[in-house]
Amino acid sequence: MSISVLAVDDSRTMRDMLRLALVEAGMDAHLAEDGQDGLEVLDQLKPDAIITDINMPRLDGFGFIDAVRGIDRLRNIPILVLTTESAEELKAKARRAGATGWIVKPFDPEKLVRALRMVTG
C-alpha cells in the first residue's frame, strides 16, 4: 500500500511540484492551501506523513503543527517543514513547534522522498 502524504503550501506551484514528486514516487498526495485548510483535510484523513510550508495565510506552519500535535489521533504523525531558509533558527523553531524534519526549498524530488522515508520507514 502506498504511503499517503498531506502537503500544505499556499503556493500553487509548490503544491503542483509536491504532488508531482509524491505521485511519481508512488505515494498518495493530498493537498491543502494553508494550515486551516490542512486541518480541515485532516478531519477526514490520517496520512502517513505531512509536509507543510511555514509562511501561509490564515494559519501558518507553526500554528498548524501545533494544532496537529494537539490532536490525539494525529499526535504522532511525522511532519516535515518546507523552508527556503536553511537558517538553523528556523529549524529549531520548527522543531520546537513539533516538526519531525525539514526539507529545504527548492527541493529535489529524490531528497523529498528520502526525507519522507526517514520519517515513515
Residues that bind another protein (CB under 8 A): 1-4, 6, 10-17, 19-20, 28, 30-33, 37, 41, 44-48, 55-57, 76-79, 84-88, 91-92, 95, 98-108, 110-111, 114-115, 117-121
Q: Please answer whether residues 101 and 80 qualify as being in contact, where contact means their C-beta atoms are separated by less than 8 angstroms.
A: yes
Q: Please answer whether residues 105 and 83 qualify as being in contact, where contact means their C-beta atoms are separated by less than 8 angstroms.
A: yes
Q: Which of 112, 105, 103, 100 is nearest to 75 (CA)?
A: 100
Least CB distance to another protein at residue 82 (A): 8
Q: Please answer whether residues 94 and 102 qualify as being in contact, where contact means their C-beta atoms are separated by less than 8 angstroms.
A: yes
For another protein, the closer of residues 67 and 98 by Cβ is: 98
Least CB distance to another protein at residue 12 (A): 5
For another protein, the closer of residues 64 and 107 by Cβ is: 107
For another protein, the closer of residues 67 and 91 by Cβ is: 91
Q: Which of 12, 18, 4, 3 is nearest to 34 (CA)?
A: 12
Cα separation of 7 and 42, whole Å? Answer: 11
For another protein, the closer of residues 25 and 77 by Cβ is: 77
